Amino acid sequence: MVNTHNTTSQDKELGHRLRVIRERAGLSQRALAKKVGVPNSTISLIESGKMNPSVGALRKILDGIPISLSAFFEFQPDAERQIFYAADELTEIGKGKLSLRQIGGTLFGRAMMILQETYEPGADTGRVMYGHEGEEGGIVLSGRVEITVGEERKVLGPGDAYYFDSRLPHRFRQVGAEPCVVFSACTPPTF
């Protein structure tokens, strides 16, 4: 029914579109889930971009609103217009020992993703390196992080920076005794 791995920016856009349409229909996540016979967590995971529904599952959910698949995909929600964000308004998209605090609640209609990344001791983006469309760069504010890009590897500390083609396989790993904080940007937002 759904894929919870390898979600993309398209999954996040689909989730944002579903949330906007559901809210315009005056339905809570719980009410829509009950109406179409799926767990509330399914709607929540789809809307957060963490779950990619099959066409059949999406059609079942949209029938509860009701809206057709074609009308759903034609709908273009307004891009977020907020300009300034308080520290507590950043959206957490990381988990475990890796905090990724995104500027903005959604990346729909945006050309860039900006993150405050905090790597607790032992944090790692994973042993398997990954790549995605775009370019990314960042600057280390505190702590130390080992960054591997393709065949190159370097440990960066406060004030050090990086910039690379995100299609190259890459990995970030915290090293040292204290957490590492990095501010980064990625364009387009395909992380």
pTM higher than the cut 0.85: no
CB-based contact 144:180 (threshold 8 Å): yes
CB-based contact 69:61 (threshold 8 Å): no
Could you report the per-residue pLDDT of 133-189, keeping only the tens digit for each? 899 999 999 999 999 999 999 999 999 999 999 999 999 999 999 999 999 999 988
Report the range of poorest mean pLDDT among 32-41, 56-65, 78-87, 110-119. Answer: 78-87
> Could you report how far apart the first and last alpha carbons of the chain are, in Å?
24
Could you report the per-residue pLDDT of 22-69, keeping only the tens digit for each? 988 889 999 999 999 999 899 989 988 888 899 999 999 999 999 999
